[in-house]
Amino acid sequence: MESPEYSANLPGRLLVLDDDVGVSATICAIADRAGFETRSTTRAEEFFQLVADWQPSHLIVDLVMPDVDGVETLHRLALSGHQGIVIVTSGLGGRVLEAASRAAAENGLRVSGVLPKPFTPARLRSLLHHEPENSKRKPGGSDEPAPVSAEMLAAALAQKQLCVHYQPKITCATEKVVGFESLVRWQHPERGMIFPDQFISLAERHGHIAELTRQVFDISLAWFAANFLSSDLKLAINMSPIVLADAQFPAWIQQACTRYGVAPSQITLEITETSSMENPVAMLEYLTQFRIKGFNLSIDDFGVGYSSLVQLARLPFSEMKIDKMFVMSAATSIESQKIAAAVIGLADALNLNVTAEGVEDAWTLEFLRDLGCTHAQGYFIARPMPPESALVWLRDREGLKAS
C-alpha cells in the first residue's frame, strides 16, 4: 500500500474504532469542530476496509471491545505499514494504555499519545494536533546503517581506528562537573563514524572484546592523565562482563593505571549485567579484587535487561546508573517517574551513588534533583564529545561559573 502524504494544511481525516457509539459520536463532534472529516465504526473488519479505502490521516483505537482485541488491531495496523497518526484510548488504567501504545510505537506506528476515558475535549484536541516524532527506524530502511563484520572489526583494531568520545557527568545538586564517561567510536575511513551499538556485541561474540577494551583504556587513560591528574575529576569506562571472565584483567588494568599515574579511585568501571555471566562466583571474586584495588564499580543500565536486585545486593558495586529509558521518558510518563524515584530510593537505602543518564531537558534535571539523585548525564548537559571539544567545553563551563 502506498502511504499517503499528509499536508498540515489539508483537513485531517479521523477514523474511530470504538464499541461505544456514544463515545465515538462525542469524539467525532469534537474533531469535526477542529476541522476534521470523521468516520467511525464498531467493527474491526470495517475499520480495516476504511483504512484501505478512505485513507484516514488520524486513527483512534479503543483497546477494549467485546469481540476485538485492541492490541491485535494495532499490531495488524503496524504490519500494514500505515503511516497515519494513532491515538490509543480505553477506560482501563494509564498503565495498560501506556504499555499498548509503547508496543504500537515500537512496531512502527506513529502514536501521538493515549486518551484515557473519561477525557476532556482539550485533551483530545491536543492529541489530534500533536505531531509524533518519527516512528522507529524500520529494518532495511534507508537510514539503517550497513552491518559490520568481525573481519572488519579485527582490521580496525589492528589499524587502531577506534577513538573515544567523552560525556560529562555533573552533580545534580550543584551542577558541578564531576567527571566524564568514555564512549568508544570507530572512525572508519570510508563509512565515517560507527557507533558502539553496531560493534560491541559483535566484538563480544568474536573474541575481540578484550583487545577493544585494552585499546579504550589506553586511549582514555592517556587523555585523562594528560589533563586531569591533579584534579578531583573521575573517569568512567565501560567494561563488558565478558572481559571479567579473563583472569588477567584486574592486574592489567591496575598496571595501565600505574603506567599513566592515574589512581584507581579516579576510575569507575561501568558494568552491564548480561546473561553471559556464567560463573557468578568468579564474577564475585573479580569485582571484589577491583574494589580492593581501589576502583569504583557501577552497575550500568539498572532497571533493564539482566540487572537485578539480587546482583545489586550480592556484588560489591559502589554506584548504579538508572537506565536512560526511564530518564528520557520521565517528563512524559508517570510510570517512568515512579521507577526513577524507586531506583533512587533504593540506591539511597543501600548507600550507593546513583547516576541518571539520558537527561534531555531542564525539567528532568530538576525532577532528579528533588528526588535526591546524586549525578546526572545527558544531552541537556552535553553530548559525548571528541577529546579536544570536551576540554573546551569544560573550560567554557568553568569560566562561566567563575565569572
User: What residues line the site for ligand C2E (CB under 6 A)?
Assistant: 167, 182-184, 195-197, 200, 213, 216, 238-240, 270, 272, 300-301, 324, 328, 357-360, 377-379, 384
Shortest reach from residue 70's CB to ligand C2E, in Å = 29
Dist CA 258 CA 277 (whole Å): 28
Shortest reach from residue 235's CB to Ca ion, in Å = 12
Shortest reach from residue 268's CB to ligand C2E, in Å = 11
Q: Is 18 in the site for Ca ion (CB under 5 A)?
A: no
Interacting residue with Ca ion among 98, 270, 273, 319 (CB under 5 A):
270
Dist CA 398 CA 390 (whole Å): 12
Shortest reach from residue 309's CB to Ca ion, in Å = 18
Binding mask 108-137 for Ca ion (x = CB under 5 A): ------------------------------
Helix (H, G, I), strand (E, B) or coil at 36: coil
Q: Which three cell numbers stand for residue 326?
A: 526511564
The answer to whether residues 41 and 67 touch, using CB atoms and an 8 Å cutoff, is no
The 3 state secondary structure assigned to 202-248 is HHHHCCCHHHHHHHHHHHHHHHHHHHHCCCCCEEEEEECHHHHCCCC
Q: Which three cell numbers stand for residue 386?
A: 571528541
CB-wise, 197 or 388, nearer to ligand C2E?
197
Shortest reach from residue 384's CB to ligand C2E, in Å = 5
Closest CA to 70 of 57, 89, 54, 45: 89
CB-wise, 117 or 214, nearer to Ca ion?
214
Shortest reach from residue 279's CB to Ca ion, in Å = 23
Binding mask 218-257 for Ca ion (x = CB under 5 A): --------------------x-------------------
In the list ligand C2E, Ca ion, none, the entry touching 183 (Cβ below 5 to 8 angstroms by class) is ligand C2E
Residue with cell 469524539: 27
In the list Ca ion, ligand C2E, none, the entry touching 360 (Cβ below 5 to 8 angstroms by class) is ligand C2E
Tally helices (H) and strands (E) across the chain: 16, 14
Binders in 164-203 for Ca ion, by CB under 5 A: none
Q: Is 98 in the site for Ca ion (CB under 5 A)?
A: no
Q: Which three cell numbers stand for residue 115?
A: 486518551
The answer to whether residues 34 and 13 touch, using CB atoms and an 8 Å cutoff, is no
Computed on alpha carbons and rounded to an integer, the radius of gyration of the chain in Å comes to 25
Interacting residue with Ca ion among 215, 300, 337, 393 (CB under 5 A):
300
In the list Ca ion, ligand C2E, none, the entry touching 303 (Cβ below 5 to 8 angstroms by class) is none
Q: Which three cell numbers stand for residue 249?
A: 584483567
Dist CA 321 CA 331 (whole Å): 18
Pairing of strands 192-194, 177-188: antiparallel
Shortest reach from residue 181's CB to Ca ion, in Å = 6
Within 10 angstroms of residue 71's Cβ, the number of other Cβ atoms is 17
CB-wise, 221 or 359, nearer to ligand C2E?
359
Helices 280-293 & 249-260, crossing angle to 10 degrees? 20
Q: What are the phi and psi torsion angles at 291 (to 5°)?
A: -65, -40
Shortest reach from residue 109's CB to ligand C2E, in Å = 21
CB-wise, 328 or 330, nearer to ligand C2E?
328
CB-wise, 51 or 253, nearer to ligand C2E?
253
Q: Is 301 in the site for Ca ion (CB under 5 A)?
A: yes
Chain residues binding Ca ion by CB under 5 A are 238, 270, 300-301
